[in-house]
């Protein structure tokens, strides 16, 4: 009797199994049709049928849904594996390395004292959610900056032609940022100022300057997405004799970042920077120098397609009382010098930028009009250099360029130099004063 009952039970189970085989599984989407065709439900073994009899209530729909889920999980993990790794030299656009299109945020620093409440304010968090697309754009530009500088540091060596170094760096930026007119690209020319030249020097075409073992080179380059600029710089010195000079500007910049915040007075940031900077000494070829902050060079606020947006962050005490405000971007940069700690314009000009506030100014020279059209199309109000004009096929443009400068449409930015024979180092980061915290967007593992 008992054996007959169990036989009947088995028969019932096998018919149920057949019914389950005939009923098509529920599909989550059209893409899963092919996957589910492959999932043929095999006939249960004795052990499996025992399990089924132990739990016969399991719904057919849930079984097929679970199967789909398992398959989905598998396909997701496969997709993760397919994300490419950056090549050496870098050639894969950063956007392809982050398929989610979510780029890593920079270093987060909390506000202090009167601004502590911002950290947990729901209202401020909501403000940030609204700004998310802008944050993501500038983080993409920062990721490009990090990857490019990592590569450039790995190939830098004495004996390199400065022009080759700049073109390698710029071409790498163009690839990684997926250069696209004014939507994505280089934010300003690659500054590679040497020794007593503090800023705004890049080789013009035909320049034969070679990087030497005893040079102190400031590499200052910028990237942008939709006009959201990352302005970030570091110093390279092969000779360890210069290490204290580099450390002075690196630590002074970090101090400036730490002191910055919403409602902080710009003069207070400058005072803190100078105090750290001038605590350093450096011995150069047997002679001891107290490190000085260059008093007429500053950090600055950054706007959309505007590298200098109106506010200056001094690097000495006694600056203006103006306050930093919520939502502002700042380039915090410091310059450490063994010279006078004061720069003046010198040498051949390479950097130019269209005046941000230049209205319509009538031009008489047809060549100047033509050159302005090229500048408007390719750079708008972003800085450019002569090499960039050469690359676009412009020739014999110096007279037209001078005319644009004389009329005030374009502003020349000649190299800024301390006293000849001195050495200057620089470090710089772009920070964002978010409603809830301070983000050092360009921070990397290196500095």
- Positions annotated as catalytic residues are 220, 231, 300, 308, 333, 428
CB 276 within 8 A of CB 252: yes
> Is the bond into 143 cis (omega within 30 degrees of 0)?
no
How far apart, in Å, are the Cα atoms of 230 and each of 91, 98, 306, 315, 442?
20, 19, 11, 20, 7
Tell which residue, 430, 332, 432, 331, has the closest CA to residue 127. Answer: 432
Cα dihedral sign for 426, 188, 224, 309?
Answer: positive
Q: What is the CA radius of gyration of the chain?
A: 31
Distance CA 231, CA 235 (A): 14
Cα dihedral sign for 383, 388, 390, 392?
Answer: negative
* Exposure of 151 in the CB half-sphere (CA atoms within 13 A): 22
Encode 135-175 in three state secondary structure. HHHHHHHHHHHHHHHHHHHHHCCCCCEHHHHHHHHHHHHHH
Distance CA 176, CA 13 (A): 61
Distance CA 396, CA 277 (A): 44
CA dihedral 404, 383, 206, 236 (to 10 degrees): 150
Q: Angle formed by the axes of helices 122-155 and 162-176, to 10°?
A: 140
Reading the block at residue 244, the tokens are: 């204290």
Encode 38-106 in three state secondary structure. HCCCCCCCHHHHHHHHHCCCCCHHHHHHHHHHHHHHHHHHHHHHHCCCCCCCCCCCHHHHCCCCCCCCC
């Amino acid at each position: 009797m008992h054996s007959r009952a169990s036989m009947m039970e088995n028969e019932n189970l096998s018919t149920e199994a057949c019914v389950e085989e005939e009923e098509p599984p529920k599909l989550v989407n059209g893409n899963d049709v092919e996957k589910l065709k492959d999932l043929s439900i095999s006939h249960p073994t004795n052990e499996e049928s025992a399990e089924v009899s132990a739990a016969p209530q399991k719904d057919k729909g849930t079984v097929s849904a679970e199967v789909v889920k398992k398959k989905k999980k598998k396909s997701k993990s496969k997709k993760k594996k397919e994300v490419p790794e950056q090549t050496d030299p870098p050639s894969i656009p950063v956007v392809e390395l982050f398929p989610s299109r979510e780029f890593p945020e920079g270093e987060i620093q909390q506000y202090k004292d009167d601004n502590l409440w911002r950290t947990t304010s729901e209202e401020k968090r909501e403000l940030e959610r609204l700004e998310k697309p802008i944050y993501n754009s500038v983080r993409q530009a920062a990721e490009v900056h990090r990857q490019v500088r990592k590569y450039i540091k790995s190939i830098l060596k004495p004996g390199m032609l400065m022009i080759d170094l700049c073109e390698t760096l710029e071409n790498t930026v163009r690839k990684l940022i997926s250069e696209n007119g004014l939507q994505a690209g280089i934010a300003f020319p690659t500054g590679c100022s040497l020794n007593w030249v503090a800023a705004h020097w890049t080789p013009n075409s035909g320049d034969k300057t070679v990087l030497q073992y005893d040079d102190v080179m400031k590499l200052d380059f910028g990237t942008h997405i939709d006009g959201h600029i990352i302005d970030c710089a570091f110093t390279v010195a092969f000779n360890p004799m210069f290490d204290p000079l580099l450390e002075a500007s690196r630590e002074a910049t970090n101090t400036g970042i730490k002191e910055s915040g919403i409602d902080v007075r710009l003069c207070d940031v400058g005072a803190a920077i100078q105090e750290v900077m001038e605590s350093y000494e450096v011995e150069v070829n047997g002679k001891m120098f107290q490190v000085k902050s260059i008093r007429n060079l500053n950090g600055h606020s950054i706007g959309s397609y505007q590298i200098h947006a109106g506010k200056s962050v001094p690097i000495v005490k006694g600056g203006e009382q103006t306050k930093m405000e919520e939502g502002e971007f700042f380039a915090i940069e410091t310059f450490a010098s063994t010279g006078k700690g004061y720069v003046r314009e010198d040498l051949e000009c390479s950097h130019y930028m269209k005046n941000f506030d230049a209205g319509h100014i009538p031009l008489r020279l047809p060549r100047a009009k033509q050159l302005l059209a090229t500048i408007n199309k390719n750079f708008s109000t972003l800085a450019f250099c002569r090499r960039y004009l050469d690359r676009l096929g412009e020739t014999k443009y110096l007279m037209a360029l001078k005319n644009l400068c004389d009329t005030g449409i374009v502003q020349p930015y000649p190299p800024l130099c301390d006293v000849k024979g001195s050495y200057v180092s620089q470090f710089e980061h772009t920070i964002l004063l978010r409603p809830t915290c301070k983000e050092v967007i360009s921070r990397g593992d290196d500095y």
